[in-house]
Structure 1
Amino acid sequence: MSNVGLQVRQAVPNIDPVVADYAVGYIQHVSQSTEDIVLSQQLDIKSELHYIEQLLVDAGGSNDKVDVLVNKIIEELTDKLNKNLAKLEITGDTSKRLLDINLLNQNNNKRDINSSLALLNASTNIEHAGRSMESRVDKKKLEKQERKIAKKVAKRNNQFVKYERSKLLNDQKEEDYDSFFLEINPLDFGSSAGKSKDIKIENFDLYVGEGQRILSEATLTLSYGRRYGLVGQNGIGKSTLLRALSRRELDIPKHITILHVEQEIRGDDTPAIQSVLDADVWRKSLIQEEAKINERIKEIENLRKEFEEESQEVKKLDNERDDLENHLLSISEKLFDMESDKAESKAAAILYGLGFTKKSQTLPTKSFSGGWRMRLSLARALFCQPDLLLLDEPSNMLDVPSITYLANYLQTYESTVLVVSHDRAFLNEVATDIIHQHSERLDYYRGANFDSFYNTREERIKNQRREYENQMAVRQHLQAFIDKFRYNAGKAAEAQSRIKKLEKLPVLEPPEDDKIIKFKFPDPDMISPPILQLSSIEFGYNTDDILLKDVDFDVQMDSRIAIVGGNGTGKTTLLKLILNQLEPLKGQVNRNGRLRVGYFAQHHVDSMDLTLSAVSWMSNTFPGKSDEEYRRHLGSFGITGPLGLQKMELLSGGQKSRVAFAALSLSQPHILILDEPSNHLDTQGLDALADALINFKGGVLMVSHDVSIIDKVCNEIWVTENQSVTKFSGDINAYKKHILAEADDKGVVRKH
């Protein structure tokens, strides 16, 4: 079959190259199938090649020439198949036992065959007439051509549209976790030693939704072992980029493993620690296969007793056993390399660091709330330790102790990390480099944490502005001379020289200025103390399970209080007691009768009608103003232009938060009670929120995991732990050091 490509082109001289490649790939696949122990026994060569005969005739080939070619190929392949089947009768099955043969025999449908081919590393990219065959099309060239087509379409229509891509470039399917994991990260028994795990993807475009381009001719460069912070404004497309990477929609080498913490795991009866162990599908699959092989080897030993020692049947069984034992050795080596024997202790340590007690690690996943299931998803990713770990706002699901643990863990993470986060303190501790996504491009700040990125970017913008202004001055000077002397015979040569000089000047774009956003909470009317007091409070959802006791706590008009502590220690419960949403078992909550409280709930989206626009929702919730007034008010919180008029379900998480803060300010509160206010806000939003809280004339009480905003705004730190609420003597940074010291004493902090 060495010259099959030449034979096809000779039989059909005018054949389209793509069709020719497809036909050759199909014939080669049938040829390979004759060598396969399982597929060869059910292969009908005439039936398979009849399809190719019709394809070549339809492509312009004459019936006679195509018939001669196909008959010749059928004759060659039939001879090859017969020889292989004869060899099988003599030697027995010496094939790899990687495939579950029984499953293949029981299920002869398209999906099972495709799955089997996938395990054999066969490509099944092109679908035609019910068959999936190997593609020989150069995907990089195809992708490049399709980008050109997309740009031509966009230019012709004067707009950016999403061009319908080839199936070769868009074959991702939604499947269960194990299948998806193995599809994205195929198990390879070959060594990846010596293969670079650096990632460089050049000149790619990326779209979100129908037609919105978020990256244009961008280049993504990730050096192995570096930790990248991906930053940018809300709605710029950072999560879309992570999702494209996680599904290999961008060209990442197959030997690089990828894992993305994107959504909470499904709750079922699986214990938490087992769900973490099961996340490593490689380990899980290898252990299952190891058990199946050992079971089959026992069956072979029993079957041998039924035949004579020198019989053909015994030879076949011995050949199969030898193959199985060789593969069993490969599995054992793979499990040893991944330190399978240490898996449980590693999983338990990660869970403990993320807030799971020894008892809670044994509870079924369905018993945990959504936030805790997100922690499980994070624990599963850390446990797998992929070559490329993708994290999308990981701090949103964690409390301060868990964030401190995660940051410490990632500082010694040996693989590549790409994290989307707006938590400055977290990025300062974790990131070795910053990638700034804006204006459909990616800018790199190497060797930079967030603070150094921010300062460098400011300096870069100043230099760009200076260069732009200098060039504009030169342009104006040249243009003025040209306009003055263009038609002056004595100065015509000089004018022409300046025209050429003007044309050679590089075209510079004015540097982007981030839109300045300022949140503002109106100054409240003054009320006399006491404002809000909790005296000797005791609370539990039943008398046998007390969550808080002996709590004495008060909030004044000048208070700036942060409540911190592990999840489940009573932070949100304390807020609900203050808001009269819960009644204490003992003690009193005293509130000034004129007190107005503005409450920002962690899950504020639940109270919004997302089918409405921000303007309509605010009009319904706080009636009395014109649409124009609502739009101006939303604009001051960064919801500008059409954002205020489109359905809120189309807004990003940070944009929804801005709408919630805009609504909060209309309630004219004396005290702001904020439950995780920093979630989803970008850097601009966080700066605007911090400034607004500092300038607010009323009291502020917040539960937050964001160390930066706590450090900026709050002068009191209260800790919920051991059924109590106590004031911490230092600031938030001292509290973090206290947490790490405690974790180190318990042996939880990760060391290499």
Structure 2
Amino acid sequence: MASCSDILRSEFPELDGEVFAYVTGILHSSGADFESVDELVEAVGELLQEVSRDGKDERAIRDVCQRLFNCLQLDEARAQRCSQVLLDAPIQLSQITDGYDASTELLPGLLLKRGQTSMVNAKKLEKAEAKLKAKQDKRMERDSVKSSGPLVLEEATASQAASKKETRMESSGKNKSYDVRIENFDVSFGERVLLAGADLNLAFGRRYGLVGRNGLGKTTLLKMIASRSLRIPSHISILHVEQEVAGDETPALQSVLECDTTRESLLREEKELTAKVNAGRGEGTEGARLSEIYAKLEEIEADKAPARASVILAGLGFNAKMQQQTTKPDLLLLDEPTNMLDVRAILWLENYLQTWQSTILVVSHDRNFLNTVATDIIHLHSQRLDTYRGDFENFMKTKEERLKNQQREYEAQQQYREHIQVFIDRFRYNANRASQVQSKLKLLEKLPELKPVDKESEVMMKFPDGFEKFSPPILQLDEVDFCYDPSHYIFRSLSVSADLESRICVVGENGAGKSTMLKILMGELAPVRGIRHAHRNLKIGYFSQHHVDQLDLNISAVELLARKFPGKTEEEYRHQLGSYGVSGELAVRPVASLSGGQKSRVAFAQMTMSCPNFYILDEPTNHLDMETIEALAKALNKFRGGIILVSHDECFIRLVCHELWVCENATVTRIEGGFDQYRDILKEQFRKEGFL
């Protein structure tokens, strides 16, 4: 294989000694730093195009750089066999020319003789050198971070224009309003500006849904409010429930009840005292204490515990310290509260939040949840916040109408400007019309500058087909028993089957065994009794609800795919990630710095890389924005293969699934009436239990 020097001499025979030595010096001393051909093009591409006498275009230069990059993949020994003198570091051009003496013989063929001019602009060399040095510094900084310990991520910051009136009212103690007004503020994450000159107004007692694309800063905004990095009057109490809280297999409603410590303590004591009395071991004081307990239970309405404020907070993951608060917060911040809740718990949460008396700001991508809970929608886009009255459906209609009006106004103004400009151009040099031309020019200056509609790019997803006809059965469980503990069986006599045309959604309370059944279907868990059958050509792609646990957060998405599927080019990895909306600098940032939705997209890219013909998806919509959820639904509908998924997102279920399995009572039941029937069943259960 030709050396780097051979490639340069062949492609650029006119290359003078100075430029040749500079480029080969870069390749020799910094070759290991180039992770992709793009970085090599950035370092020397512009310089090579400058010196190319045959006028190579950008594509031709890139082809040359690709050959150079391939050559750099060889071991160091081969690189050192280059026929020309190689430098240990990039040349400091200014130092060379300033100190050059005509008698110098140290670098023959490198320096130009006095009076001889270089064919390349010296500034081009310095510019290329500066680019390379910046890249090397960045690499050294990144390597230093990796070697020194855990990845340190950039932090979010907020700034806000001072308001003398608000500051004066705050210091005087006269501000008694519980409305939240944050005006003219900026929020950044590292060097990225998320919000610029934004305003946020929250009227006390209203429930606001905060929506927008993944990665634009919704979670960061909530954190800035919760930490009071943005000014909030000190008398307003804030409670923040973050997006990612640790969960377990305990059913959601049971977790809620157990977290009501006062109720649980009284019931426990009541049980112990009753047992003593029944066993004849009482001391004579039990009756009086039992009366006190019953009175206290009645006082706290223990039978209506799920409707208590402490209950809802517990259900959302509040810790013991938060539970000790005696009053509701004036401002409740919720970040994706439905992510880890089952359908039953979501229905209960929807009903409870509608009775909340103070202010709520909730980030959610669950369309049905927002339609039920929100009184207003705040749309984060283009580094600003726009507020709409009404639920999510009303927001969509109003936004669409607002965008149409904005575009119409912009187009009308453009036509008006063109009409005036035609007049100006026609009579610009007509002395008799000079005053009219001046008047028209002033009119143009006074016109407000309208902007065209800033349309958000469409989210695209595509699941590669792995479809081929298999003879049934494709995937089947026959009379399966399963348990982790012999005293408690998760499933008894479970029999289910699916084929390559299946579109099945599994629902049921948390802890009922949905995820366990998926793992049995995949073969990760072996039945205690019964048979699992899978076709020999079945290739399953699995998306876990805890997908973040499967990702190495300290490396980039490109590196992640390269480690999982070695042997492909960087362009192939980038193309795969780009198919799921992870493109540009997102693909090379540490995964830890991505938003929850962006991490999900990386997980999708990883899952589909091997082209499965059957997908098992456990809560795939968690953290995804609505546009991505819709794109995911479309991609699954186009996919030619089988699908079994667990989801609580009603809209997503209706878009994708044709069959509903309910996981309960140690088995799985198929509901003929689909999601409507399941929702009616849950509401009837709630009414019987007194939750509604």
User: How high is the sequence identity, in percent, across the aligned residues?
Assistant: 47
Shift in CA distance, 544/277, structure 1 to aligned 2, threshold 3 Å = closer
Distance 2:637 2:322 in 1: 36
Residue in 2 that maps onto 1:231: 211
* Corresponding position: 1:486 with 2:428: yes
Asked if the contact 2:494–2:668 (Cα under 8 Å) also holds between the matched residues in 1, the reply is yes
Counterpart of 1:244, as a letter, is M
Residue in 1 that maps onto 2:371: 428
* Corresponding position: 1:551 with 2:494: yes
1:264-663 matches, cutoff 5 A: 264=245, 276-277=260-261, 341-342=299-300, 374=317, 380=323, 384-446=327-389, 448-528=390-470, 529-663=472-606
* Corresponding position: 1:701 with 2:644: yes
Distance 1:414 1:272 in 2: 20
Distance 2:196 2:633 in 1: 34
2:688 to 745, 749, 752: 745
Distance 1:355 1:440 in 2: 31
Give deviations 1:18-57, integer Å, cap 9, x for gaps.
Answer: xxxxxxxxxxxxxxxxxxxxxxxxxxxxxxxxxxxxxxxx
Distance 2:469 2:324 in 1: 51
TM-score by length of 2: 0.65
* Corresponding position: 1:250 with 2:230: yes
Counterpart of 2:484, as a letter, is Y
Distance 1:427 1:163 in 2: 27
2:662 to 709, 719, 722: 719
Shift in CA distance, 555/377, structure 1 to aligned 2, threshold 3 Å = farther
Quote the offset at 1:385 in angstroms.
2.6
Asked if the contact 1:534–1:589 (Cα under 8 Å) also holds between the matched residues in 2, the reply is yes
Shift in CA distance, 487/343, structure 1 to aligned 2, threshold 3 Å = farther
SS in 1 for 2:527: coil
Residue in 2 that maps onto 1:293: none
Quote the offset at 1:436 in angstroms.
0.4
Residue in 2 that maps onto 1:241: 221
Residue in 1 that maps onto 2:182: 201
Distance 1:502 1:400 in 2: 57
Asked if the contact 1:276–1:379 (Cα under 8 Å) also holds between the matched residues in 2, the reply is no
Residue in 1 that maps onto 2:197: 217
Counterpart of 1:202, as a letter, is E
SS in 2 for 1:720: strand
Quote the offset at 1:715 in angstroms.
1.4
Residue in 2 that maps onto 1:332: none
Quote the offset at 1:406 in angstroms.
0.4
1:34-45 matches, cutoff 5 A: none
Counterpart of 1:465, as a letter, is Q
Counterpart of 1:544, as a letter, is S
Shift in CA distance, 427/165, structure 1 to aligned 2, threshold 3 Å = closer
Quote the offset at 1:410 in angstroms.
0.9
Q: For this pair of structures, how many residues does the alignment match?
A: 489
Asked if the contact 1:690–1:713 (Cα under 8 Å) also holds between the matched residues in 2, the reply is yes
Shift in CA distance, 444/732, structure 1 to aligned 2, threshold 3 Å = same
Quote the offset at 1:452 in angstroms.
1.7
Distance 1:205 1:662 in 2: 33
Distance 1:167 1:382 in 2: 32
Counterpart of 1:716, as a letter, is E
Distance 1:514 1:573 in 2: 39
Quote the offset at 1:340 in angstroms.
12
Residue in 1 that maps onto 2:240: 260
Give deviations 1:359-395, integer Å, cap 9, x for gaps.
Answer: xxxxxxxxxxxxx883768994998532211100001
CA RMSD of aligned residues (A): 3.4
Distance 1:344 1:666 in 2: 52
Distance 1:526 1:382 in 2: 59
Q: Gaps (5+ residues) in structure 1? A: 1-160, 170-189, 280-338, 357-371
Shift in CA distance, 561/163, structure 1 to aligned 2, threshold 3 Å = closer
Counterpart of 1:342, as a letter, is I
Asked if the contact 1:534–1:587 (Cα under 8 Å) also holds between the matched residues in 2, the reply is yes
SS in 1 for 2:317: helix
Distance 2:554 2:565 in 1: 17
TM-score by length of 1: 0.60
Shift in CA distance, 344/168, structure 1 to aligned 2, threshold 3 Å = farther
Shift in CA distance, 616/476, structure 1 to aligned 2, threshold 3 Å = farther
* Corresponding position: 1:732 with 2:675: yes
Counterpart of 1:248, as a letter, is R
Quote the offset at 1:542 in angstroms.
2.8
1:180-191 matches, cutoff 5 A: none
Residue in 2 that maps onto 1:89: none
Asked if the contact 2:159–2:187 (Cα under 8 Å) also holds between the matched residues in 1, the reply is no
1:168-187 matches, cutoff 5 A: none
SS in 2 for 1:619: helix
Asked if the contact 1:234–1:681 (Cα under 8 Å) also holds between the matched residues in 2, the reply is yes
Task: Decide which moves more: 601-610 or 551-560.
Answer: 601-610
SS in 2 for 1:442: strand
Shift in CA distance, 375/588, structure 1 to aligned 2, threshold 3 Å = farther
Asked if the contact 1:350–1:379 (Cα under 8 Å) also holds between the matched residues in 2, the reply is no
SS in 2 for 1:255: coil
Shift in CA distance, 225/662, structure 1 to aligned 2, threshold 3 Å = same
